[in-house]
Structure 1
Amino acid sequence: MDRKDRWSLWALSSVPLVMTLGNSMLIPVLPLIEKKLNITDLQVSLIITIYSIVAIILIPVAGYLSDKWGRKKVIIPSLFIAAIGGAVTGWVSWKLDNPYTWILIGRIIQGIGSAGAMPVVIPCVGDMFQDEEQVSSGLGLVETSNTLGKVLSPILGSLLASFIWFLPFWFIPILCIVSIILIMFLVKPPNSTKEAPPLKVFLQNVKDILMEKGRWLLPIFLLGGIIMFILFGILFYLSSILEKRYHLEGVWKGLVLAIPLASLSLTSYITGKKIGDKKGVMKWCICAGFLILGITLTIPIFFKNIYIIIISLVISGIGIGVALPSLDALVTEGVQKEQRGSITSLYSSMRFVGVAAGPPLFALLMKGPDNYIFYLSISLALLGAILALKFIRPKDN
């Protein structure tokens, strides 16, 4: 990989970093927002969920447009839209007495922008390299940037909110502008633009791909949704109990939330570097990752000590970090370049389904015993391991 490609990768990696910060940075601040706006757990969780629902709907559209117009021509305007959404949420929080509805509107705008940003980065990396090992390494860096954003999010969000509760909203457009500048000047993907087929033909092509490769693609889509559902649900739960049960607030709470995410980020980076183009290794990484996640989440059922809970979540983060880069690589390398934007957008949509569903469902489960949360997470993690073992067949892709 030459120097120009490395700079392009680093610039592209700023997009998942920014998009992750734009969403995950709010998680440690949600209890504070709940108090400031006098709303319920479920209402505050919608600030995360509504952003993700909009992205779910529009990601496939962004994938199609990126295949038609080119990746940069979709990513840069999408970042502008995300910046506008962030500015709206910041402005109304500052100026209005009851800004909740307008915050949701701003988050909808931000979700529109996010649909054409992070999901289009994955096929863009695939376009840049012919060698599958370089693709895996590049996707590992992108996934690491994504998880690094999750590590920084609780610390940065808590720090900003310690000054003014809505300051994290204002930070989003600043980050988007920085990423736009990097993409404009440093990213030069190959010109993969071609005359896109009519929508009807496009949908038929996607259907044909899913008919041909759906036996392993659809389980990977589902696995992406499951792993993000567990991750964002657990983060929402941990943010809530750290403040309400253990009276840990501000930057200290952010630091504690960052600990399991740091293990996820480091593992993701190492996994992306090591798996190369070995699809058999990817399958076993996914199986092992889900098994580690399921087994370690049994620990908080029996031990309620906060230190033991954090240790179990650190190990769970390792499991997620092993699985995620392998899922990304299998999807990206398993389809032809011409169809990559469309198929990876469906995968990204499923990941956002998990992000959208996790916080509100966990908010409802938190009305009962904590164990309900862990029973559900363990069941889904073990189901993920079974799906990976049964349906992912490297020889088919």
Structure 2
Amino acid sequence: MNDQSKVSNWCVVSMASIPLVMTLGNSMLIPVLPIFEKKVGISSFQTSMIITSYSIASIFLIPIAGYLSDRFGRKMVILPSLVFSLIGGLIAGYASWKMSDPFLWIIIGRVLQGIGAAGAAPIILPLVGDLYKDDEKTSSCLGIIETSNTFGKVLSPILGAAFAAFLWFLPFFSISFFSLISILLVIFFIKVPKKKDTPMELKEFIQKTKGIFKEHGKWIFTVFTIGAYVMLVLFGILFYLSDSFEKIHHLYGVKKGFVLAIPLLALCIASYISGKNIKGNVKIMKGIILGCLAILTLCVPFVGFLRDQLVFLLCLTGFIGIAIGALLPTLDALITENIEKEERGTISSLYSSSRFIGVAAGPPLVSLVMKNGLNVSFIGAGLFAVIIIALVMFWIHTNEKKKPQPAEGSS
């Protein structure tokens, strides 16, 4: 199964369905947060916690799920995780439907969904690495997986607004429905390669993981930092746009969803193109990373200043979407292709955890600075990209074997 000819198209579709469903499970709620605020009677900060509670649960459990997938198999972790996501959606939806004060139970449901997300989407990255031996094929498949993720972000505002227009709590139930579809696809179409080696004991595993960070820690830390940063910027801006579209530009419902999808469509297209062209070449990856961070440095500081100018705001956030979209599959490939199979699940899961830190932090931070300090915050976020550019230049090195090298030593 380690050859592309043995990996069926349905297997790729099944893998791609998981990040799509997990993305819908979070991003689909962003355009309807103002509706939740009114219907449940909560503050803007409490509303942001509907997103953050999902992400916080994932942050702490993703590394555990990664280790379990390395030890017991990818599919054995993915399937129960999707069941958690299904149950969480039912709890949040039922509470919103039947309870007069559903906020606590919505959060409980979202935490369960976050637990499900921890063992689902992040495990797909090492699974792709297990299925393919060729770096170019791995990069291409990872591009499809990340494009599915970003395509979910494009669909999310449209579907979320459409479901909420029918019943305001329907987005919660829809997450359960999509999770069920993914469960069936995984059961029938994903055939995981059989493990030939005896899984490492925990003590040995910890020692080996420490060795990886000792040898490759600088470039791994840099990739983790970029992952957290771009997701903080993305979800912070999405929260900001969702609020601004209603309060300033008077866009509501499905119309608002379509407008919110414009920068996300740019992100999706850039993700697909990037995934198709990096071809496992670290030199190309480094160039993409530097170029995209430069775009973020130039664009992010001006987001707050264009709040009243809808067309210019969409153009600017479209450029930001292109930069983030090109970055995501590049970072995925850099991690997946340069870590040995035995530790791939844990390292890629730690990387996914770093991304969820950004997802968790973005909405509440923006909600806190929305009235005072919004422009300064976006300027600071843009300037932080300059620091990351320096990290990339000094800590991600390339050589003829196309592997990242720590700045001071061997590969």
2:9 corresponds to which of 6, 9, 21: 6
Amino acid at match of 1:288: G
State the 1:147 CA deviation.
0.3
CA contact (8 A) 1:289 1:321 kept: no
1:80 corresponds to which of 67, 83, 87: 83
The residue number in structure 1 matching 2:341 is: 337
CA contact (8 A) 1:69 1:194 kept: no
The residue number in structure 1 matching 2:300 is: 297
Show structure 1 runs of 5+ residues with no match.
Answer: none
The residue number in structure 1 matching 2:33 is: 30
The residue number in structure 2 matching 1:323 is: 327
CA distance in 1 between partners of 2:325 and 2:393 (Å): 18
CA distance in 1 between partners of 2:90 and 2:311 (Å): 38
CA contact (8 A) 1:18 1:149 kept: yes
CA distance in 1 between partners of 2:7 and 2:126 (Å): 18
The residue number in structure 1 matching 2:281 is: 278
Amino acid at match of 1:198: E
What percentage of aligned pairs have identical amino acids?
49
1:42-53 to 2 correspondences below 5 Å:
42-53=45-56
Question: Secondary structure of 1:297's match?
Answer: helix
1:235 corresponds to which of 228, 238, 254: 238
Amino acid at match of 1:281: I
Amino acid at match of 1:232: F
The aligned length equals 397
1:231-280: CA deviation from partner (whole Å, max 9, x where unpaired): 01110011011111111110011011100000000110011001101110
CA contact (8 A) 1:286 1:324 kept: no
CA contact (8 A) 1:70 1:193 kept: no
Amino acid at match of 2:369: L
CA contact (8 A) 1:226 1:384 kept: no
Amino acid at match of 2:152: G
CA contact (8 A) 2:366 2:374 kept: no
State the 1:375 CA deviation.
1.1
Question: Secondary structure of 2:303's match?
Answer: helix
CA contact (8 A) 2:263 2:321 kept: yes
Stretch of structure 1 that moved more, 314-323 or 187-196: 187-196
CA contact (8 A) 2:301 2:380 kept: no
The residue number in structure 2 matching 1:58 is: 61
What's the TM-score, normalizing by structure 1? 0.97
Amino acid at match of 1:213: H
RMSD between superposed Cα atoms in Å: 1.3
The residue number in structure 2 matching 1:358 is: 362
State the 1:10 CA deviation.
1.4
State the 1:301 CA deviation.
5.0
CA contact (8 A) 2:14 2:190 kept: yes
Matched, 1:120 2:123: yes
The residue number in structure 2 matching 1:308 is: 312
The residue number in structure 2 matching 1:69 is: 72
Matched, 1:153 2:160: no
The residue number in structure 2 matching 1:387 is: 391
CA contact (8 A) 2:227 2:331 kept: yes
CA contact (8 A) 1:300 1:308 kept: no
Matched, 1:101 2:142: no
The residue number in structure 2 matching 1:221 is: 224
State the 1:321 CA deviation.
1.3
